[in-house]
Amino acid sequence: MAAYVARRVLAGVPVLFLVVTAVFFAFQLIPGDPARAFLGPEATPDVVERVRRELGLDRPVIVQYASYLRRLVQGDLGRSIMTRRDVSLELAAPFLSTVKLSVASIVLATVVGVLLGTVAAVRQGSAWDHLASIVALLGISIPVFWLGLLMMYLFSVNLRILPSAGDDTWRHYVMPTISLATFSLAFIARMTRSSLLEVIRQDYVRTARAKGAPEWRVVGYHALRNALLPVVIVVGLRFGYMLGGAVVIEQVFAWPGLGRLLVAAVGQRDIPLIQGILLLFATSFVLVNLIVDLLYGFLDPQIRYR
Amino acid sequence: MRPSGPSVVPRGPIVAFFRLHRLAAIGGVIVVLFVAAGLLAPWLAPYDPNAINVQATLQPPSRVNLLGTDNQGRDLLSRVLYGARMSLLISLTSVGCGAVVGVALGILAGYYRALDGPIMRLNDVLLAFPGIIVALTIVSILGKGLENVIVAIAIVQVPQYVRLAHGLVLSVKDRVFVEAAVAIGAPDRSIIFRHILPNTLGPIIVQTSLLIPGAIMTAATLSFLGLGVQPPTSEWGAMLQHSLQWARLAPHVMVIPGLALMLVVFGFNVFGDGLRDAMDPRLRRMSGTPGGMA
C-alpha cells in the first residue's frame, strides 16, 4: 500500500509542474503590455518603462519563467491588478467559500444520487425506476444557471422565503447547493443504478439471499458494497468538476467564491489573479484525483497490485 | 438520382432500433428540429430578431408574437430561432475543429511511441481543468466574441478526442490486419489512413454526438457570464443573462430560452446514448460522459 500511495503522489507532481508551465506561457500570448495594463492608460511612457524593468518584463521570457517558478515555490503568486493586493491574500477567503459550497453539493448529490439509483435498481421497471430515469435525464440536460434562475424567481422573488445572494446562513446554501448538485446527482444516480444492476445478478448476492439474509442486508451490505466502487470514482471526478460548475452558480447567486472572482478577473484581464486561481483550481483537482485514487486502491485491493 | 451513401446499412434494423429505444427516437427528432431551426432561421423567423419595438415590450405570447417579446420589444420566437442558429454554428464548428485536431494528435500519440509521452502529458494538463475553466482562460487570453468562443470551445474538446483516439489506436495497433500491413511494408501514412482511422470512426462519431450538447452548454454559459457572444446577437445564454429582472413582469422571457437550451441538450444526450447502444453496446464504458455541464 505504501508503494501504491507513493506512486500516486509522485504521478501528480509532473502534472502540476506542467500546469504551472502551461499557465505561465499561455498568458505570454496575450497581445499588449502587462505593465501598461497594470498602470492603466494614463501612465506616461517612461513610468511604464520603469515598471516594466521593476517587474522584470524587459528580460527574456525564459528568465521570467525561472523567476516565476522561484516566487511560486516561495508562495508568492504576484499582485492583483484590480486590487493591488497579493494574489494569495485575495484567494484565501473565496477559496474557502467555494469549498464549502462544493462539499455541501457533493454530499447532497452523493446521498440522494445513491439512494435514487439504488431504489431504481432494486425496483427495476417500477414507477420509482422511471422517476429516477427522468430525474437523471433532466438533471444532466438542464442548464445549471437556468435552474438557479428559476429557483431564485420562485423562492426569492415570488415566495420570498430564501435569500438570493451571499453565503451567511444555511438558508443561503439551499439554492446554490441544489443547483450545483443537480448534474452530479443525476450522474451518480445513473451510475449507481447500472452498477448495482450488474452486481445484483452475481452469485454471491444469490448466495446471500439463499442463506436467508434479510433483503436490506443483501442490498445494503453485499450488493451495494461492490456496486459503489465505480461510483466512488464518479463522485471524486464530479467533485473536481464542481469547482467548474461553481463558476456559473456563484455568478447567479452572488456567492463570494473563487468562480465569481475568476469571472471578474477574466472580465478585467487581471492576469496574475487569473493565473493564481487557475493554479489553485488545478492543485485542488489533482489533490481530489489523488484522494480518489487512494480511496479506490483502499477499497479494491486488485488496483493496488496492478 | 439516388444518393448511394448510407444504403449499405439496411433500413430495417434502424427502424426496429428506434422502436425499441423510443427516447433515442425522440432525441433524434429534437436534434433534427434543432438543426432545421438553425439552418432555416432567416426564413422561419417572423420578425427581424434585433428589431426593437418600444411600443410592445415584455408582451406575453400572443397571435402577433407567438412567444411574446422581451424588454426591448424584440420578438422572442425570432430570437430563439436565431439563437438555435448561433448554437448550431458554435457547436458544430468547435466540436468539428476539436475532433480533427484531437483525433490527429491522439492517433500520433498512439502510433508513434516517441510522441506518446509529450502529447499525453500535455493532454493531462488540459484535463486537469473543468471545460468551462479552460474556455474562460482562453477567452481571457483572446478576448470576447464569436470567433474566440469557437476557438475556446474547440480547445476544450481536444483532450477528449485525444484520449479516445489514443486508446482506440493502441487497441487497433496490435490487430492482425495492421501487423499484416506493416509486414508488407506499407508506409505509416497508409496504415494510419487506411487501416487505423476507419476502425476508430464509430466511437468517434458517438463521442461527437455526446460532446455537442456540452459545447452548446459551454457556449451558452460563456454568453450568460457576459464573456461569450456579445449583445445584441441572439444567443440563448445571453438572452438569459438579465432575464431575472424582467421575470416578475414577464416570466416567459426567462422560461423560453432556458427551455430551448434544455430541450436541445436533452435531445442530443438521449440521441447520443441511443447511438452508442446501436453502434456497440460495449462502448458504454469507452466513450466519454454524456454532455451537459462540463
**C-alpha cell of residue B29:** 427528432
Q: pLDDT above 70 covers what percent of chain B?
A: 88
Q: Give the distance, in angstroms, between the CA of residue A294 and the centroid of all CA atoms in the same chain.
A: 18
In a domain, B61, yes or no: no
Q: Is B249's Cβ below 8 Å from some Cβ in A?
A: no
The residue segments making up the domain with residue B131 are: 19-40+75-284+287-291
**Distance between CA atoms of residues A146 and A152, nearest Å:** 10
Residue B171 has pLDDT above 90, yes or no: no
The alpha-carbon gap from A146 to the nearest alpha carbon of chain B, in Å, equals: 6
For residue range B110-119, list pLDDT tens digits in order.
999 898 888 9
Beta bridge partners of B75: B69
Residues 169-228 of A with CB under 8 A from B: 183, 187
For residue range A55-77, list pLDDT tens digits in order.
777 788 888 888 888 888 888 88
Q: Is A109's Cβ below 8 Å from some Cβ in B?
A: no
Three-class secondary structure of residue B69 per DSSP: strand
Which of A17-21, A175-179, B19-23, B102-106 is predicted least confidently?
A: B19-23
Beta bridge partners of A86: A79
For residue range A20-38, list pLDDT tens digits in order.
888 888 887 776 666 776 6
Residue B154 has pLDDT above 80, yes or no: yes
User: What is the residue-averaged pLDDT of chain A?
Assistant: 83
Element (DSSP H or E) covering residue A138? helix A127-141
For residue A271, list chain B residues with Cβ-Cβ distance below 8 A: 140
pLDDT of B165? 92
**C-alpha cell of residue A169:** 446562513
pLDDT of B288? 37
pLDDT of B16? 67
Domain boundaries, chain A: 2-73, 94-305
Question: In CATH, what number does A94-305 get?
Answer: 1.10.3720.10
How many structural domains is chain B composed of? 1
Burial code of A70-101, b = ≥16 C-beta within 10 A, e = fewer?
A: eebeeeebbbbbbeeebbeebbeebbebbbeb
Q: Is B145's Cβ below 8 Å from some Cβ in A?
A: no
**Distance between CA atoms of residues A305 and A295, nearest Å:** 14
The alpha-carbon gap from A170 to the nearest alpha carbon of chain B, in Å, equals: 23
Instruction: Note whether B244 contacts A267, CB cutoff 8 Å.
Output: no
For residue range B227-277, list pLDDT tens digits in order.
888 888 889 998 988 888 888 888 888 999 999 999 999 999 889 888 887
> Which of A298, A297, B174, A15 lies closest to A306 in space, CA to CA?
A297
Residue A116 has pLDDT above 60, yes or no: yes
Beta bridge partners of A79: A86
User: What is the residue-averaged pLDDT of chain B?
Assistant: 84
Residues 253-272 of A with CB under 8 A from B: 262-263, 265-267, 269, 271
Residue B26 has pLDDT above 70, yes or no: yes
| pTM of the full structure | 0.85
Instruction: Note whether A244 contacts B133, CB cutoff 8 Å.
Output: yes
The mean per-residue pLDDT over the stretch A88-106 comes to 91
Residues 6-35 of B with CB under 8 A from A: 23
The alpha-carbon gap from A88 to the nearest alpha carbon of chain B, in Å, equals: 19
Q: Is B39's Cβ below 8 Å from some Cβ in A?
A: no
Residue the block writes with cell 504521478 = A11
> Which of B215, B251, B209, B254 lies closest to B236 in space, CA to CA?
B254
**C-alpha cell of residue B167:** 486508446
For residue range B38-78, list pLDDT tens digits in order.
999 899 988 888 888 888 778 888 888 888 888 887 888 99
**Distance between CA atoms of residues B42 and B167, nearest Å:** 42
In a domain, B274, yes or no: yes
Q: pLDDT above 70 covers what percent of chain A?
A: 95
**C-alpha cell of residue A140:** 444532466
**C-alpha cell of residue B197:** 482511422
What is the number of residues in chain A? 306
Three-class secondary structure of residue A237 per DSSP: helix
Say if residue B121 is exposed, middle or buried (CB neighbours under 10 Å; 0-12, 13-18, 19+): middle
Three-class secondary structure of residue A193 per DSSP: helix
For residue range A206-262, list pLDDT tens digits in order.
888 888 778 777 877 778 877 888 888 778 877 877 877 888 899 889 899 998 999
Beta bridge partners of B69: B75
For residue range A178-211, list pLDDT tens digits in order.
999 998 899 889 888 888 888 877 788 888 888 8
Q: Which long-range contacts (CB under 8 A, 24 or more apart) does A170-178 make?
A: A172/A253, A173/A101, A173/A104, A175/A148, A175/A151, A175/A253, A176/A101, A176/A105, A176/A148, A176/A249, A176/A250, A176/A252, A176/A253, A176/A255, A177/A101, A177/A104, A177/A105, A177/A108, A178/A108, A178/A147, A178/A151
pLDDT of A227? 81
**How sure is the predictor about A160, in pLDDT bands with cuts at 50, 70 and 90?**
confident
Contact criterion met (CB below 8 Å) for A24 and B136: no
Three-class secondary structure of residue B272 per DSSP: helix
The residues, ordered by sequence, that sit 6+ positions from B215 with a Cβ below 8 Å of its Cβ are B90, B91, B94, B95, B153, B156, B157, B291
Which of A24-38, A78-92, A120-134, A163-177 is predicted least confidently?
A: A24-38
Residue B291 has pLDDT above 50, yes or no: no
Amino acid at B188: D
* Domain CATH number, residue B109: 1.10.3720.10
Of A26, A144, A251, the CB nearest to B137: A26
Higher pLDDT pick, A245 / B219? B219
For residue A141, list chain B residues with Cβ-Cβ distance below 8 A: 213, 262, 265-266, 269, 292
Instruction: Note whether A15 contacts B265, CB cutoff 8 Å.
Output: no
pLDDT of B14? 67
- CA distance readout (Å), B78 to A303, B81, B240: 55, 5, 15
pLDDT of A284? 86
Output the CA angle A267-A273-A278, nearest 5 degrees.
95
Residue the block writes with cell 517612461 = A46
